[in-house]
Every structure is written in C-alpha cells, then in structure tokens.
Amino acid sequence: MNERIDELMIQAGARFEMMNWVHYDDFEYKKFVELIIKQCGVALHPMLRDMVSRGQAYELIKEHFGVEE
C-alpha cells in the first residue's frame, strides 16, 4: 500500500504500531470507504477540467456509492 492509503486508514481509526501491525479496534470501515471515494474525485480532477459538466464523473461516483458530503 502507499502512504496515502495508510493516512486514510489512520483517519478512519486504524492504529499502526511497530512492525506495521495494525489495530482495527476503532476502525470505521464506512468512513474509510468514503475517504477513498473522495480521493477518487481528487485523482479525477485533472481529467474533469476538460469536461463540459465539470465534476459530473465525481458526482456519479459518489451517487453510485451513496457518499454524502
């Protein structure tokens, strides 16, 4: 995994300790998924600049997964 995934896991409640052991006691998987979907919008942003309806693809992704801002 890359560092960005680790950061999102921490934001969702995972705890990393020595030797990369992960504790999921307080991990909110729904929050993690929501953060991942939001990052999809960030990743798509350069492509969306040229779309007539800017952000339409990101909105469709959020709608498909039921993510609310």
pLDDT at position 4 is: 83
Q: Could you identify the residue written with the tokens 């709608």? A: 63
The helix, strand and coil proportions of the chain, stated in percent and rounded to the nearest 5, come to 60, 5, 35
Q: Is the pLDDT of residue 66 over 70?
A: yes
Tokens in use for 23?
Answer: 């504790």
Q: Is the pLDDT of residue 52 over 60?
A: no
DSSP annotation of 10 reads H
pTM, full prediction: 0.63
Please state, in angstroms and rounded to a whole number, the distance separating the CA atoms of residues 50 and 7: 30
Mean pLDDT is lowest, of 39-43, 44-48, 58-62, for 44-48
- Tens of pLDDT along 53-65? 656 777 777 777 7
What's the start-to-end Cα distance of the chain, in Å?
Answer: 26
Domain residues of the chain, as ranges? 3-65
